[in-house]
Amino acid sequence: MKRFSACCFTSRVSKSHSHSKPNHPQIMMGNVSSPSKSRATNIIINHDFSGGLDSWHPNFCQGYVVSAKSGSQGKMSMVSKSNYAVVTDRKECWQGLEQDITDKISTGSTYEVSACVGVCGLPQGSADVLATLKLEYRDSATSYLFIGRTSAIEASWAKVKGKFSLSTMPDRVVFYLEGPAPGVDLLIQSVEIICSNQNDHNSASTDCDAPGDDNIIINPTFDDGLNNWSGRGCKIALHNSMADGKILPQTGKVFASATERTQSWNGIQQEITGRVQRKLAYEVTALVRIYGNNVTSADVRATLWVQTPDLREQYIGIANVQATDKDWVQMQGKFLLNGSQSKVVVYLEGPPPGTEILVNTLVLKHAAKTPPSTPPDFQNAPFGINVIENSNLADGTKGWFPLGNCTLSVGTGSPHIIPSMARDSLGLHEPLSGRYILVSNRTQTWMGPAQIITDKLKLFLTYQVSAWVRIGSGSSGPQNVNVALGVDDQWVNGGQVEVADDRWHEIGGSFRIEKQPSKVMVYIQGPASGVDLMVAGLQIFPVDRQARFRHLRKQTDKVRKRDVILKFSGLDTSSYLGTLVKVRQTQNNFPIGSCVNRTNIDNEDFVDFFVKHFNWAVFGNELKWYWTEPQQGNFNYKDADDMLALCVKNKIETRGHCIFWDVDGTVQQWIKSLGKDDLMKAVQNRLNGLLTRYKGKFRHYDVNNEMMHGSFYQDRLGKDIRSNMFKTAHQLDPSATLFVNDYHVEDGCDTRSSPEKYIQHVLDLQEQGAPVGGMGIQGHIDSPVGPIVSSALDKLGILGLPIWFTELDVSSTNEYVRADDLEVMMREAFAHPTVEGIMLWGFWELFMSRNDSHLVNAEGDINEAGKRFLALKQEWLSHSHGHVDEQGQFSFRGFHGTYNVEVVTLSKKISKTFVVDQGDSPLVVSVDL
């Protein structure tokens, strides 16, 4: 259930009695679907105010009704086809309009609520309007239950929707509407409450102009010409055909075009201010294509331009598609607005100037909730069973075929042992045969041995890949060898290794298939044409993750726990045996943090989850150079300042991500245009400006992000620039630990950032005097396998530097599989002694860099992955209880962190807080009674 906070709840606390009643009614809340077409009774009397305020009562304020016939009156400028109530002279946000519904409801039934509301006298932005139940009892405190909420703006109707069910019946039940700040008038056009589980029911018409679950776009198919549409920096036109009749609408009779475009951001737009609400997920669907300027294919994007009440501007990408000049294509996407908005515009953009954007339809609706996943059935999964036929080559090359015009033969002399990463997964197993496939006459890099394994794979199972590979002579430099899968028309990476000599090399990787394929082929490829390839002992088998978890729990106990002896004094020996001890851990010392974006902190539900479950933060974009200085000399530190203030307030530590980013595509155009001397000066200014401003504020800095995958600054300024960045950063803020940070270090699928190359990268920097203090592994990983991750950590640990997973996310369409993936990564990190922290790269849907990676759905519901995350955090807290022994001691073994001990003797109760740090010997804590 989501947490909602509003000022009216705070005001209400002081009005409640000091004691509470057990078994209070429970409430179910959330958006409700449109009622069915059969008839039901609205239990609200005078629901449309046709009888004035009959049966309604202003709650310690004033109210009156504006007649539809009289039109707007005074400051009331709302357009309405029917009467509406005005609640005015409001001194508190909880003041509103109420109606007693006690004798109209019963326990066990579910009631759907819908109200059409507005506000008047709002200086700017939006105001929340809430539907609430007041439940009164003769012998205990009055209870207030939230039903629904909407954001309303001046001169526009909005709809509050929700539902409730009572498990026990109070003495009095009052429904009321409340919420806007004091001084703001609350307007109510209609209210309905219907029993949704009646056999024969229907929604009474509310005649509300608010969109509700209907299309928010007005004139979405251009049946009304171009009304409500306009050009964003360009002209728009209406067509029934184009290009001599070759372009016709796919649906309806007409379509629109954005023409005379001189910028990529020019396009067709519609203002939707007041028609979208904060903290609700919306889905956009459009039919688009392009035309003209000899462009046959281009990216078309749907974007929101949002202006907040404090005049902050946001551009939110909500959908994109590769459109062509040949046919209409459908574009789909989702978005959610966290904060209040004073203006919202949706528009299409993207193709190069001169190319027209054609739009047939554009629909924007409240997004339907994704049905919950069902757990895959792994009960009889063939864990550890190799799906490769004739892997040991006892039958020659039977089951294998050459991909391309190469030649397969069998040789002897390969390793007899399975590669180490597979040994860790398989447990007991047979040794390898020592035979290998020799691939010769290779004329293309993709040529190699192959098998069809379509019928041997199960959906949602994670498969580990393992093999020995070697290359023949004749290569010029290191060669990349890859186990690949052709899944229908898609290439899937099963693992890669770089080979630079004539030794056998271990290759390891993993994959998972989540949609039923028609054909799956596995093949080994990579070396240059003319270079022979040798493959031995190829293993592809599903991984038993639960068995790995059992191993990791034991490892975790060794790495993250310590024996503790509580030694008591102050009582005689005879009194100890009756003394009760309760030990409860309040916080684990192991840092677990998350990425946060500036817009997230406008959503109180997001902030509540974040501060409750994370103790570290990293900013997604707001500290990056392209954000803080998008144009030279034009600085924006306000977003980072706001986020840092939230973290400081909630005692959350922060990582500084990042000072520089070495990948060319992430560098601002103004930086790219600088000459060498000016670029060097700009780099120095960036270091001085950022680290001086935030000295002592960020515990870590990623100094130059992704140096294994980019080299912009090194190419322009020479090799020394990288070490100089570290040296200067350390001089400016000696308190910060300086990190390298890169991706695909831990998963075996990228030879550019293998553990061996990452180690050499750090050694090269240290040799130049760079004070590298930590190694960041980003952790954007697919289908993780524990032994592969652990192997990488073992290798990196040789440097003795702290290792953090700095940007961890996992992705699966199935929430249970996603939960398993997350558990794999968190347990591997927590069980490994070199890892000192985990940062998730976000947790809230629509604010993640990858789809299907969130823990909390857009509107605040925790999914299975989120539940698994919370369960792991709870598992990593130690609790113990018992009695003091005759030596005056109480012993337990617990995770490192902060504890509270409560000691109860016959005469008193004593509490004490203590901290369990790392250590090999037992920690002795003295407690004076």
Mean pLDDT of 504-508: 97
Provide the 3-class DSSP secondary structure of residue 36: coil
The pLDDT mean for the chain works out to: 90
524-561 confidence digits (pLDDT tens): 999 999 999 999 999 999 999 999 999 999 999 999 99
35 is a domain residue = no
Q: Which two tokens stand for residue 449?
A: 């041995």
Q: Which two tokens stand for residue 872?
A: 């792991």
Could you tell me if 135 and 99 lie in one domain?
A: yes
Task: Tell whether the model's pLDDT for residue 18 goes beyond 50.
Answer: no
Mean pLDDT of 565-584: 86
792-826 confidence digits (pLDDT tens): 999 999 999 999 999 999 999 999 999 999 999 99
Could you tell me if 164 and 238 lie in one domain?
A: no
Mean pLDDT of 392-415: 97
Q: Which residue do the tokens 């959906």 mark?
A: 459
Task: Tell whether the model's pLDDT for residue 211 goes beyond 70.
Answer: no
Could you tell me if 420 and 480 lie in one domain?
A: yes
Task: For residue 720, give Cα distances in angstroms to 442, 535, 660, 729, 897.
Answer: 41, 41, 15, 14, 41
DSSP string over 600-664:
GGG-HHHHHHHHHH-SEEEESSTTSHHHH-SBTTB---HHHHHHHHHHHHTT-EEEEEEEEE--G
Task: Tell whether the model's pLDDT for residue 8 goes beyond 60.
Answer: no
User: Alpha carbon 688 to chain centroid distance?
Assistant: 33
Task: Tell whether the model's pLDDT for residue 120 goes beyond 50.
Answer: yes
Q: Which two tokens stand for residue 798?
A: 């040789």
pLDDT given for residue 872 in this prediction: 98
Confidence of residue 141 (pLDDT cuts 50, 70, 90): confident
750 is a domain residue = no
338 is a domain residue = yes
User: What is the residue range of 646's domain?
Assistant: 615-710+738-742
Task: Tell whether the model's pLDDT for residue 689 goes beyond 90.
Answer: yes
HSE-up of residue 579 (Cα within 13 Å, Cβ side):
31
User: CATH number of the domain that 579 lies in?
Assistant: 2.60.40.10
Could you tell me if 448 and 406 lie in one domain?
A: yes
Residues whose CB is less than 8 angstroms from the CB of residue 115 and which lie 6 or more positions away in sequence, other chains included: 131, 159, 160, 177, 188, 190, 191, 192, 206
pLDDT given for residue 71 in this prediction: 52
pLDDT given for residue 274 in this prediction: 86
Task: Tell whether the model's pLDDT for residue 27 goes beyond 50.
Answer: no
Q: Is 612 exposed, middle or buried (0-12, 13-18, 19+ CB in 10 A)?
A: exposed
pLDDT given for residue 656 in this prediction: 98
Answer whether 159's CB lies under 8 Å from 150's CB: yes
Residue 326 or 908, more confident: 326
Answer whether 302's CB lies under 8 Å from 318's CB: yes
pLDDT given for residue 886 in this prediction: 86
Give the residue among 618, 609, 565, 611 at the shortest CA–CA distance from 804: 618
pLDDT given for residue 216 in this prediction: 92
86 is a domain residue = yes
Task: Tell whether the model's pLDDT for residue 660 goes beyond 80.
Answer: yes
Confidence of residue 25 (pLDDT cuts 50, 70, 90): very low
Identity at 110, one-letter amino acid code? T
Task: Tell whether the model's pLDDT for residue 256 goes beyond 60.
Answer: yes
Task: For residue 165, give Cα distances in angstroms to 108, 146, 150.
Answer: 6, 11, 20
Query: Is 807 a catalytic site residue?
Result: yes
Give the residue among 646, 611, 609, 615 at the shortest CA–CA distance from 860: 609
339-373 confidence digits (pLDDT tens): 989 999 999 999 999 999 999 999 999 998 888 88
**End-to-end alpha-carbon separation of the chain, Å?**
42
Q: Is 363 exposed, middle or buried (0-12, 13-18, 19+ CB in 10 A)?
A: middle
Identity at 247, one-letter amino acid code? I
Confidence of residue 139 (pLDDT cuts 50, 70, 90): confident
Residue 598 or 195, more confident: 598
Answer whether 897's CB lies under 8 Å from 560's CB: no
Identify the H or E element spanning 820.
Answer: helix 815-831
* Structural domains in the chain (count): 5
Last residue of a domain, one of 543, 574, 600: 543
Query: How far is 250 from 308, CA to CA, in rounded Å?
Result: 37
Mean pLDDT of 646-672: 98
pLDDT given for residue 74 in this prediction: 44
pLDDT given for residue 461 in this prediction: 97
Query: How far is 631 from 912, CA to CA, in rounded Å?
Result: 54
Could you tell me if 420 and 537 lie in one domain?
A: yes
5 is a domain residue = no
Give the residue among 7, 174, 183 at the shortest CA–CA distance from 97: 174
User: CATH number of the domain that 151 lies in?
Assistant: 2.60.120.260
> Largest Cα–Cα distance in the chain?
103
Burial 49-61 (b: 16+ CB within 10 A, else e): beeebeebebbeb
Could you tell me if 410 and 359 lie in one domain?
A: no
705-764 confidence digits (pLDDT tens): 999 999 999 999 999 999 999 999 999 999 999 999 999 999 999 999 999 999 999 999
Mean pLDDT of 369-389: 92
Q: Which residue do the tokens 């326990």 mark?
A: 107
pLDDT given for residue 77 in this prediction: 55
Task: Tell whether the model's pLDDT for residue 416 goes beyond 50.
Answer: yes
Could you tell me if 186 and 252 lie in one domain?
A: no
pLDDT given for residue 143 in this prediction: 82
Could you tell me if 405 and 539 lie in one domain?
A: yes
Query: How far is 328 from 246, CA to CA, in rounded Å?
Result: 12
Q: Beta 281-291 vs 297-307: how paired, if at all?
A: unpaired
875-914 confidence digits (pLDDT tens): 999 999 999 998 889 999 999 999 999 999 888 899 999 9
Could you tell me if 62 and 163 lie in one domain?
A: yes
**Residue 926: DSSP 8-state:** E
Mean pLDDT of 288-316: 94
Task: Tell whether the model's pLDDT for residue 125 goes beyond 90.
Answer: no
Total Cβ atoms within 10 A of residue 716: 17
pLDDT given for residue 10 in this prediction: 31
Query: How far is 778 from 348, CA to CA, in rounded Å?
Result: 33
Could you tell me if 530 and 632 lie in one domain?
A: no
117 is a domain residue = yes
Task: For residue 299, give Cα distances in angstroms to 242, 346, 350, 415.
Answer: 21, 17, 6, 50
pLDDT given for residue 4 in this prediction: 32
Residue 92 or 758, more confident: 758
Could you tell me if 569 and 654 lie in one domain?
A: no
pLDDT given for residue 70 in this prediction: 60
pLDDT given for residue 15 in this prediction: 28
Last residue of a domain, one of 689, 718, 742: 742
User: Any idea of the CA torsion for 790, 854, 864, 460, to the nearest 10 degrees?
Assistant: -60
pLDDT given for residue 310 in this prediction: 86
Q: Is 295 exposed, middle or buried (0-12, 13-18, 19+ CB in 10 A)?
A: middle
Task: Tell whether the model's pLDDT for residue 376 goes beyond 90.
Answer: yes
Residues whose CB is less than 8 angstroms from the CB of residue 168 and which lie 6 or more positions away in sequence, other chains included: 23, 24, 25, 107
Given 629, 807, 828, 859, which residue is catalytic? 807
Could you tell me if 264 and 298 lie in one domain?
A: yes
51 is a domain residue = no
284 is a domain residue = yes
Last residue of a domain, one of 135, 168, 195: 195
72-86 confidence digits (pLDDT tens): 544 455 677 789 999
144-186 confidence digits (pLDDT tens): 888 988 888 887 888 999 888 887 888 899 999 999 989 999 9
